[in-house]
Structure 1
């Protein structure tokens, strides 16, 4: 397909996260003809549960856990920062393509991840047969302070011994003056909003978004947060361009990767 024939040809899209997530999303958008501008509006800070995290990682190295779970690529960064070591007996279950890439690039084991066409937390709970085998498992779950603890709650409801730790905090990052000028002038044609925290930052930082700029929310949690914030544009109907952006993002990133 020529660039002119691609659905997002000529569209300049702001991608609000960097790292592996930003790279995967940008690639998917560019494959559909878009030009992408990676401008992180969120970043990750040390957890408020640092002592609990250090103690949990010590137990992880000593083989105290049967399983460890992660639903964010940032967990891999946290593990590297702490020089975490996995005991050979501990298995690892993860959700999200960006998470899988980050773990493998860091050299960490991945035992179980949901099938590619439905890489979600709910699908992991369906495919994770050991959690319904009758044995009580000791599981370490690591997540962001703003992530919905679907996996943790699913394991607890099945009677497992779960140590849940907030591995990192998600914080807002000011956009550069150049990015704000590009938004105000309409040189950026679409703003991707992929989590509740990003919706909050877009609402706070970009107060003069032109009416013809697409504000594209991806995921039910994001839409709900945008509606609560009164973020203009996110609740509007899906135009062809809006849907093409959503489809491109969802082809690269599962909703579980959008909870940070």
Structure 2
């Protein structure tokens, strides 16, 4: 929702710089005040370490963006230039990592802004200690640990570290600075066997947590963490609880990149469900929806619905709902025109699309969410109750005949009308095509035979390392015809079952790796190898 500028920034048009903590990285952790400011900001100045996803999620396309390095190296210089930008634009949002206050130059920049006679506001974000502790499963306080020390990483870190056994410690900084801190602590007499947790890219799917010791940590950081990466280090009694509190990285699809060859509208809900399981879904539209070549049939069908010529209308996809709704709107009608007509939906997403339109479906399959499942639950026609006995099926030009034939067998007169056409979508951008063919995606979810044919046609065939998931036997057969080995076949012909199958595959593979003493790897990390 767009927030009016006067609500986000206040009614008085006073030049102001808003210092906004971005949180650890996940856009969902941005504060409400922060999202309002970003939505209404004419200019956002951000540090290079702030994730672009936050700006993409909350800053409008028209918002001007600037890298803070363009303002100079010194905090006072940046503050002076921020004040000038605020006078020019009316307001500026200065986006900084984490809470934006601790171990940050925010206060120095703010003081420089004030010296220029410009107002400022500091809006803190989720802090590094709390977010890293929560997402790494490392409590920094317990019933025995009553205090914590937050320390900036570097050669002098050991000076600020307490040796009191009831103190927890959080040291934060770039990889090499954390290594310097570890070496300084070892030189100050700390036992090399002291347990320590090191975590990076907190709250994102790139998060990595290393459970190790002081002695081994420097080597592991050099081997497993890229240079200049921010690292948060925990040590103290709370570290012992990591195994039982590791919830984020232990999600079944953590870090997986999953390809979703569906339309953007259909793919969004799938991507949301995958994100709850730890994966990131990338939508690649394989079909485009277009009006029928000859609209006359659909025009007559809409007129028949309004006149009461049909007792039922059966909708077999979200696209069918959208097409009927658009036809209604073109004629100046709304959902009330369906009064007296019973409405059937092939499954949950189609039912949700109807409810968004204000229509509660009278029939949704109790079993398999498919045309076959809809036929099984559809009532036989009773001539006394349904003397007309007509059913309208507005569908795509490539729909199957299962529903049409099944309803005719039940005594209904079926009018099968093309409401929209599906055509192959344009190829995705070159980087996406390269990622598909090189195996950067861990899995692909095929929900129909057309998604298989079209994806291969517009983007190329995924390699053998990519886990291929098919929603049903027909889709699996099409995948095999295109040279793909199917790893996951959904138990039921619906998306929930397809995702559950992928989760089962991932959990089984992880369990096997751990049982054999191997570090669990995602399919994309095994690209040079053939799938077993």
Pair 1:92-2:355 in alignment? no
**Residue 357 of structure 2 is aligned with which of 106, 111, 123?**
106
Larger Rg: 2
TM-score (norm 2): 0.42
Matched residue, 1:257: none
Structure 1 window deviating more from structure 2 (12-21 vs 193-202): it is 12-21
Query: Does the aligned pair in 1 maintain the 2:471–2:498 contact within 8 Å?
Result: no
Matched residue, 1:12: 257
**Could you tell me how far 1:243 is from its partner in structure 2?**
6.6
**Residue 465 of structure 2 is aligned with which of 207, 212, 221?**
212
Change over 3 Å in CA distance of 1:170–1:208 after alignment to 2? closer
Matched residue, 1:249: 495
Q: Give the secondary-structure state (helix, strand or coil) at the position aligned to 1:191.
A: strand
Query: Does the aligned pair in 2 maintain the 1:9–1:34 contact within 8 Å?
Result: yes
**Residue 436 of structure 2 is aligned with which of 183, 187, 195?**
183
Matched residue, 2:377: 127
Correspondences of 1:15-30 after superposition (within 5 Å): 15-30=260-275
Change over 3 Å in CA distance of 1:61–1:148 after alignment to 2? same
Change over 3 Å in CA distance of 1:213–1:58 after alignment to 2? same
Q: Give the secondary-structure state (helix, strand or coil) at the position aligned to 1:143.
A: strand
Unaligned runs of 5+ in 1: 254-260
**Could you tell me how far 1:32 is from its partner in structure 2?**
2.3
* In 2: Cα distance, 1:144 partner to 1:222 partner: 18
**Could you tell me how far 1:227 is from its partner in structure 2?**
2.8
Correspondences of 1:36-47 after superposition (within 5 Å): 36-47=281-292
**Could you tell me how far 1:231 is from its partner in structure 2?**
3.3
Q: Give the secondary-structure state (helix, strand or coil) at the position aligned to 1:204.
A: helix
* In 2: Cα distance, 1:191 partner to 1:138 partner: 40
Change over 3 Å in CA distance of 1:232–1:126 after alignment to 2? closer
**Residue 400 of structure 2 is aligned with which of 145, 148, 162?**
148
Matched residue, 2:68: none
* In 1: Cα distance, 2:373 partner to 2:475 partner: 20
**Could you tell me how far 1:68 is from its partner in structure 2?**
0.5
Change over 3 Å in CA distance of 1:55–1:37 after alignment to 2? same
Change over 3 Å in CA distance of 1:53–1:8 after alignment to 2? same
**Could you tell me how far 1:108 is from its partner in structure 2?**
3.1
Could you say what the CA RMSD is over the residues aligned between the two structures, in angstroms?
2.7
Matched residue, 2:293: 48
* In 2: Cα distance, 1:10 partner to 1:48 partner: 44
TM-superposition CA deviations, 1:176-198 (whole Å, max 9, x none): 22311222343222222221111
Higher-RCO chain (CA-CA 8 Å, sequence separation at least 6) = 1
Q: Give the secondary-structure state (helix, strand or coil) at the position aligned to 2:445.
A: strand
Query: Does the aligned pair in 2 maintain the 1:20–1:101 contact within 8 Å?
Result: no
Structure 1 window deviating more from structure 2 (45-54 vs 209-218): it is 209-218
Matched residue, 1:232: 484
**Could you tell me how far 1:225 is from its partner in structure 2?**
2.0
